[in-house]
């Protein structure tokens, strides 16, 4: 499952940009270890071992376990934001762009469940500046969906009672795909994406 | 936050039924420890310490750490099922009953975020019979929502393309409240419940 998961959804996986090779292998090992045992139960020794390296080799690339989590979280959040933005910036009606954004966002969460779970559930382990940086990325992600919903509501395409609350619910629905999605299950990421795009258009009261 | 969380949503909290007192204190300590550090990073010694007891005193009530998680998970799932059933069994149209079920389910997840997170995110740590028992409870929970949606669709109250998929999405939306809900945030559990009941009626294409 690991290999499929890492390459589906975006070309080369979310870690393609991480270099050198040893740094990338350590990051992937950390994602797997955090997902399996939790951040607090994982040691840098565990991570190095999974990557077939010594603890000393790990410290060449990452000073601490928190730096690994921060790096994973930043890359995960940046990818998610990039995917949403690409959909939102395409030409089309608010409904088309919102449906497209939801489809892409859902596909990404379905294809990267392990990474998405680590990123979402271990957020509390980040402190100080690392946390502030991630929270800023999350606010930018939220804003993409909110702006799309606002656009549609202002233009009369949507009928929304509570833009802020509907934005929260749409994002929550998409993010939670990472919790329940099972690559061996009945639905493909594309099918879940299509289903959710339809449900979200209903949530915003899209006309037509 | 702990005290509020444990008593809001249902009278006496989800642990009121657990006795004797020492067994209940240990269970509450385990929920807090699992939520804070994760199941795998928590030892029975940590749990006993949080409850102000010795490890030997813990073993009088629970044989293993897994038994504690199993107990927490079973009580959490039983409560959630009970809440959904109570709403579904009331008289009224399918729309009224579904809205009521969503309101109650959301309020419970918002009021019990710590328990709900442990129950949802540490499911993989349960094995064998314990896991099978919890999965059976989850299927019964899913069935309550599915039956409500099916009722409404059959009676012409709802317009649903995919009953199975819509059921999945409605449950997912409610469960994820436990991830993002913040007792110090802008919305109360009741407000989120009302918002979500409205959004879910839109998802099922409720008429009127």
Which is nearest to B166 in space by CA: B108, B102, B111? B102
pLDDT attached to residue A13 = 66
Which residue in chain A is spatially nearest to B175 when comparing CA positions?
A176
Which residue in chain A is spatially nearest to B38 when comparing CA positions?
A38
State mean pLDDT over B147-151.
Answer: 97
| Distance from the A106 Cα atom to the nearest Cα atom in chain B, whole angstroms | 12
Q: Does B37 touch chain A (CB under 8 A)?
A: yes
pLDDT attached to residue B11 = 44
With respect to residue A182, please indicate whether it lies within any of the assigned structural domains.
Answer: yes
Domain of B92? 2-203
With respect to residue A66, please indicate whether it lies within any of the assigned structural domains.
Answer: yes
H-state helical runs in A89-162 = 94-111, 113-121, 128-154
Looking at A153-157, A180-184, B143-147, which range is the least confident one? A180-184
Distance CA A194, CA A188 (A): 10
CB distance A176–B177 less than 8 Å?
A: no
Contacts of B162 in chain A (CB under 8 A): 195
State mean pLDDT over A87-114.
Answer: 95
Q: What confidence tier does B14 reach under pLDDT thresholds 50, 70, 90?
A: confident
State mean pLDDT over B131-137.
Answer: 96
State mean pLDDT over A103-120.
Answer: 93
Model pLDDT for residues B68-92, shown as the tens digit of each residue: 999 999 999 999 999 999 999 999 9
With respect to residue B103, please indicate whether it lies within any of the assigned structural domains.
Answer: yes
Please tell me which of the candidates A175, A196, A205 has its beta carbon nearest to residue B169: A196
State yes or no: pLDDT of B34 exceeds 70.
Answer: yes
With respect to residue B20, please indicate whether it lies within any of the assigned structural domains.
Answer: yes
Q: Tokens standing for B124? A: 């993989």
Contacts of B165 in chain A (CB under 8 A): 187, 192, 195
Distance CA B73, CA B118 (A): 8
With respect to residue A208, please indicate whether it lies within any of the assigned structural domains.
Answer: no
pLDDT attached to residue A12 = 53
Q: What confidence tier does B12 reach under pLDDT thresholds 50, 70, 90?
A: low
With respect to residue A177, please indicate whether it lies within any of the assigned structural domains.
Answer: yes
Distance CA B12, CA A58 (A): 49
pLDDT attached to residue B17 = 85
Contacts of B176 in chain A (CB under 8 A): 172-173, 175-176, 179
User: How many domains does chain A divide into?
Assistant: 1
Contacts of B41 in chain A (CB under 8 A): 37-41
How many residues are present in chain A?
208
pLDDT attached to residue A15 = 87
Model pLDDT for residues A150-163, shown as the tens digit of each residue: 999 999 999 999 99
With respect to residue B208, please indicate whether it lies within any of the assigned structural domains.
Answer: no
Q: How many helices (H) and strands (E) does chain B have?
A: 11, 0
With respect to residue A36, please indicate whether it lies within any of the assigned structural domains.
Answer: yes
Helix, strand, coil shares, percent, chain A, to 5: 70, 0, 30
Q: How far apart are the first and last CA of chain B?
A: 40
State yes or no: pLDDT of B94 exceeds 70.
Answer: yes
Q: Tokens standing for B21? A: 């007192």
Provide the CATH number for the domain around residue B43.
1.10.357.10
CB distance A173–B176 less than 8 Å?
A: yes
Looking at A55-64, A160-169, B6-15, B165-174, which range is the least confident one? B6-15
Distance CA A87, CA A110 (A): 17
């Amino acid at each position: 499952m690991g290999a499929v998961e890492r390459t589906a959804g975006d070309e080369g996986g979310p870690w393609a940009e991480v270099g050198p090779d040893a740094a990338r292998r350590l990051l992937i090992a950390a994602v797997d270890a955090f997902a399996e045992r939790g951040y607090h139960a994982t040691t840098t020794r565990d991570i190095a071992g999974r990557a077939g390296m010594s603890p000393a080799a790990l410290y060449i690339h990452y000073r601490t376990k928190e730096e690994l989590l921060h790096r994973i979280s930043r890359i995960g959040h940046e990818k998610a934001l990039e995917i949403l933005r690409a959909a939102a910036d395409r030409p089309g009606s608010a409904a088309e762009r919102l449906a497209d954004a939801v489809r892409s966002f859902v596909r990404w969460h379905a294809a990267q469940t392990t990474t998405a779970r680590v990123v979402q559930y271990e957020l509390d382990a980040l402190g100080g500046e690392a946390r502030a940086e991630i929270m800023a990325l999350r606010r930018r992600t939220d804003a993409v969906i909110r702006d799309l919903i606002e656009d549609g509501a202002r233009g009369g395409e949507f009928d929304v009672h509570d833009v802020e609350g509907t934005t929260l619910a749409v994002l929550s629905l998409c993010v939670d795909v990472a919790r329940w999605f099972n690559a061996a299950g009945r639905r493909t990421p594309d099918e879940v994406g299509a289903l959710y795009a339809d449900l979200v258009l209903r949530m915003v009261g899209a006309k037509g």
